[in-house]
């Protein structure tokens, strides 16, 4: 330490002047060892998004000078909301820590693992010599996560979807590269999760279109762009209409009428499906309550509404159903909530389904048979209706499909559940479905889904006849005039007995 005497004006000031090099060096060294908090993720200790951006800046500049490849793998945990719901946020956080640790174990010393935010991580691969190696790394990560993580004494299995983006000597910025990786990751999710996809500019464009769609979809309900079409459910023996299914469509201002397959998956990924399902429930509920007041539906007529399983993670979902029923004046017995039988576990939904049953609302298992469900699972689920997937009806002329339809129907009958066969298009399919024991169905043979204005007049007739033994063709979103669907009133036998 040195002593410096400064004379400022007439004042004598004594200042301690440190031996700058020594302590300044120490402080600088400490700073280097502990970068500013925002450069690290507190929970996992991994570098943060900010760190990653500045590192990528350097790496891309160097790669451009020397002609190296740089790759990012954007990783997203699959269905992490479900893990959080099941285990609670604290345990969920611990899962992040374990994921971070496993990724670090898998990475080479020259690679960096960073946490972007939430359940997204990035692996940065520098100086890549072989353009195929990032895909190999992605595959290794996916395979490694097949081994469960050990959280205390519990084993937790998580899977990841990964997007791979590689940059050569081009001018990509860190944001470009991360965006490309993220788009590829979303494609991996759409293609079934627990897999990786590499970015290519064509699919990138598709993904960008998807983002535009998503942005627009946020306002679709409030802008009045959603519409509901209705498809009758009939008693197969008599064609009496005993209900109808509400099917959402999006009247897109530029692209026209879009079918749910074009936007429901986007809405599910973007967390917008709960809002859409609520809107459909409310809208269709009011509509059916009006039909009831007008005396257009029989006492056993029911409205089927599709609801994504995401709704069950929403705390006030059941409350919303009760409120909708109260507001619309729709009797609970008139409502059936359809949930799709996919590969996902349905058992965690059981308490919610039980609640619906207590409220008097029916539950249908949609598209039954395509998921992993075994018939025996049916017994343990509080379900009142089973809807046989269209695939089996389409292929019902094959003995194996016929046998499946027969077994599902038999078991459902024993369990006191109602069975509806979906997608009946031809007279032959109708005959076979009936001889397999199925009593109710839907399909183009009877009617396509039609807009509100048309379903009113169809219901006024009470029943539907098949049109010259063959199904209708073309897109299901095309509006079919009533005359196309309805035979003349004189031909329609209005019956009530179910055979
Ligand atoms: P889903 O619930 O299984 O509905 C049956 C689908 O089959 C409908 O397609 C319907 O138009 C179509 N369909 C009916 N009869 C026939 C037939 O004879 N042949 C053929 N080939 N198809 C037939 P859509 O309206 O395009 O809906 C597709 C899926 O989108 C629905 O399958 C459902 O899972 C989902 N969805 C529709 N509306 C909603 C909604 O409001 N919320 C949610 N979360 N999902 C919805
Ligand atoms: Mg359905
Ligand atoms: Mg279905």
Tell me if 13 is assigned to some domain.
no
- The CATH number given to whatever domain includes residue 399 is 3.20.20.450
Q: How many residues does the chain have?
A: 499
Nearest CA to ligand 1 atom 46: 306
Final residue of a domain: which of 199, 234, 268? 199
Tell me if 311 is assigned to some domain.
yes
Say if residue 239 is in the same domain as residue 375. Answer: yes
Structure tokens at 440: 């109710």
Beta bridge partners of 465: none
Say if residue 316 is in the same domain as residue 361. Answer: yes
Give the per-residue pLDDT at 271: 86
- 367 CA to middle of ligand 3, Å? 4
Q: Is 169 in the pocket of ligand 1 (CB under 6 A)?
A: no
Beta bridge partners of 423: none
- The CATH number given to whatever domain includes residue 146 is 3.30.70.270
Say if residue 242 is in the same domain as residue 163. Answer: no
Burial zone of 449 (CB within 10 Å; 0-12 exposed, 13-18 middle, 19+ buried): buried
Give the per-residue pLDDT at 170: 65
Q: Is 476 in the pocket of ligand 1 (CB under 6 A)?
A: yes
- 389 CA to middle of ligand 3, Å? 6
Say if residue 159 is in the same domain as residue 278. Answer: no
Q: Are 441 and 409 in contact (CB under 8 A)?
A: no
Say if residue 188 is in the same domain as residue 241. Answer: no
Residues of the chain short of pLDDT 70, as ranges, are 1-37, 169-170, 201-209, 211, 341-345, 371-374, 465-499
Mutate to test the pocket of ligand 1, among 267, 422, 471 (most ligand atoms within 8 A of CB): 422
Give the per-residue pLDDT at 206: 63
Structure tokens at 346: 């349905």
The Cα–Cα gap between 44 and 457 comes to: 61
Say if residue 413 is in the same domain as residue 290. Answer: yes
Tell me if 394 is assigned to some domain.
yes
- Strands (DSSP E) contained in 292-341 are 302-306, 335-340
Q: Is 273 in the pocket of ligand 1 (CB under 6 A)?
A: yes
Mutate to test the pocket of ligand 1, among 243, 306, 444 (most ligand atoms within 8 A of CB): 306
The bridge status of strand 362-368 relative to strand 335-340 is parallel
Give the per-residue pLDDT at 358: 94
The Cα–Cα gap between 318 and 311 comes to: 9
Tell me if 172 is assigned to some domain.
yes
Say if residue 194 is in the same domain as residue 104. Answer: yes
Q: Are 236 and 438 in contact (CB under 8 A)?
A: yes
- 181 CA to middle of ligand 3, Å? 34
- 189 CA to middle of ligand 2, Å? 23
Tell me if 231 is assigned to some domain.
yes
- pLDDT tens-place string over residues 104-144: 999 988 899 999 988 999 999 998 877 788 999 999 999 99
Helix (H) or strand (E) segment spanning residue 165:
strand 160-167
- 165 CA to middle of ligand 2, Å? 37
Tell me if 372 is assigned to some domain.
yes
Nearest CA to ligand 1 atom 7: 423
Say if residue 98 is in the same domain as residue 244. Answer: no
364: nearest Cα among 436, 286, 307: 307
Please identify which residue in the block is written with the tokens 């058992």: 347
Say if residue 226 is in the same domain as residue 195. Answer: no
120-128, strands of its sheet edge to edge: 112-117, 120-128, 69-77, 160-167, 196-198
Torsion of CA 59, 65, 69, 70, to 10 degrees: 10
Say if residue 299 is in the same domain as residue 176. Answer: no
DSSP string covering 122-151: EEEEEEE-STTHHHHHHHHHHHHTTSPEEE
Which domain, by its residues, includes 67? Answer: 49-199
Tell me if 139 is assigned to some domain.
yes
Give the per-residue pLDDT at 319: 93
Q: Are 147 and 26 in contact (CB under 8 A)?
A: no
Give the number of C-alpha atoms closer than 13 A to the C-alpha of residue 272, restricted to the C-beta side: 18
308: nearest Cα among 278, 343, 347: 278
Alpha helices in 244-374 (DSSP H): 260-269, 273-293, 317-328, 350-359
Say if residue 66 is in the same domain as residue 104. Answer: yes
Say if residue 164 is in the same domain as residue 243. Answer: no
Domain total of the chain: 2
- pLDDT tens-place string over residues 330-350: 999 999 999 986 656 677 888
Ligand 3 ion local residues (Cβ < 5 A)? 366-367, 422
Tell me if 20 is assigned to some domain.
no
Q: Is 248 in the pocket of ligand 1 (CB under 6 A)?
A: yes
Structure tokens at 457: 């007049």
């Amino acid at each position: 330490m040195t002593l410096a005497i400064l004379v400022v004006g007439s004042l004598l000031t004594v200042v301690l002047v440190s031996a700058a090099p020594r302590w300044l060096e120490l402080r600088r060294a400490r700073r280097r060892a502990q970068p500013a908090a925002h450069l690290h993720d507190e929970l996992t200790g991994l570098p943060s998004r900010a760190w990653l951006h500045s590192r990528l800046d350097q790496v891309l500049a160097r790669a451009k000078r020397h002609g190296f490849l740089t790759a990012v793998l954007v990783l997203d945990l699959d269905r992490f909301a479900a893990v959080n719901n099941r285990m609670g946020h604290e345990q969920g956080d611990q899962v992040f820590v374990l994921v971070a640790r496993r990724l670090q174990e898998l990475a080479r010393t020259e690679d960096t693992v960073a946490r972007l935010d939430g359940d997204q991580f990035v692996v940065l691969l520098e100086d890549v010599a072989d353009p195929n190696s990032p895909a190999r790394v992605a595959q290794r990560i996916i395979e490694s996560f097949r081994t469960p993580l050990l959280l205390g004494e519990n084993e937790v299995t998580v899977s990841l979807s990964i997007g791979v983006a590689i940059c050569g000597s081009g001018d990509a910025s860190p944001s470009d590269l991360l965006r490309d990786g993220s788009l590829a990751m979303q494609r991996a999710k759409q293609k079934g999760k627990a897999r990786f996809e590499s970015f290519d500019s064509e699919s990138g464009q598709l993904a960008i279109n998807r983002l535009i769609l998503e942005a627009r979809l946020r306002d679709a309900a409030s802008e009045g762009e959603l519409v509901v079409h209705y498809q009758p459910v009939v008693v197969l023996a008599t064609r009496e209409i005993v209900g109808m299914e509400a099917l959402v469509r999006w009247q897109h201002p530029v692209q026209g009428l879009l079918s749910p397959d074009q936007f429901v998956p986007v809405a599910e990924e973007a967390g917008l499906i709960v809002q859409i399902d609520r809107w459909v429930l409310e809208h269709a509920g009011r509509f059916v309550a009006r039909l009831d007041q007008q005396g257009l539906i029989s006492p056993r007529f029911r409205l089927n509404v599709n609801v994504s399983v995401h709704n069950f993670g929403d705390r006030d979902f059941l409350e919303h159903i009760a409120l909708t029923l109260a507001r619309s004046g729709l009797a609970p017995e008139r409502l059936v909530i359809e949930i799709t039988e996919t590969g996902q576990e349905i058992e965690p939904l059981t308490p919610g389904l039980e609640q619906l049953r207590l409220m008097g609302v029916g539950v249908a298992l949609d598209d039954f048979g395509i998921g992993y469900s075994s018939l025996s699972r049916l017994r343990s689920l509080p379900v009142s209706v089973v809807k046989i997937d269209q695939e089996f009806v389409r292929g019902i002329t094959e003995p194996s499909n016929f046998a499946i339809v027969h077994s599902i129907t038999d078991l459902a009958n024993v369990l006191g559940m109602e069975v509806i066969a979906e997608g009946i298009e031809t007279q032959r399919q109708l005959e076979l479905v009936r001889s397999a024991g199925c009593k109710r169905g839907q399909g183009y043979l009877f009617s396509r889904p039609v807009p509100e204005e048309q379903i009113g007049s169809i219901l006024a007739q009470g029943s539907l006849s098949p049109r010259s033994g063959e199904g209708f063709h073309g897109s299901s979103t095309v509006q079919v005039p009533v005359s196309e669907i309805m035979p003349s009133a004189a031909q329609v036998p209005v019956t009530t007995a179910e055979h």
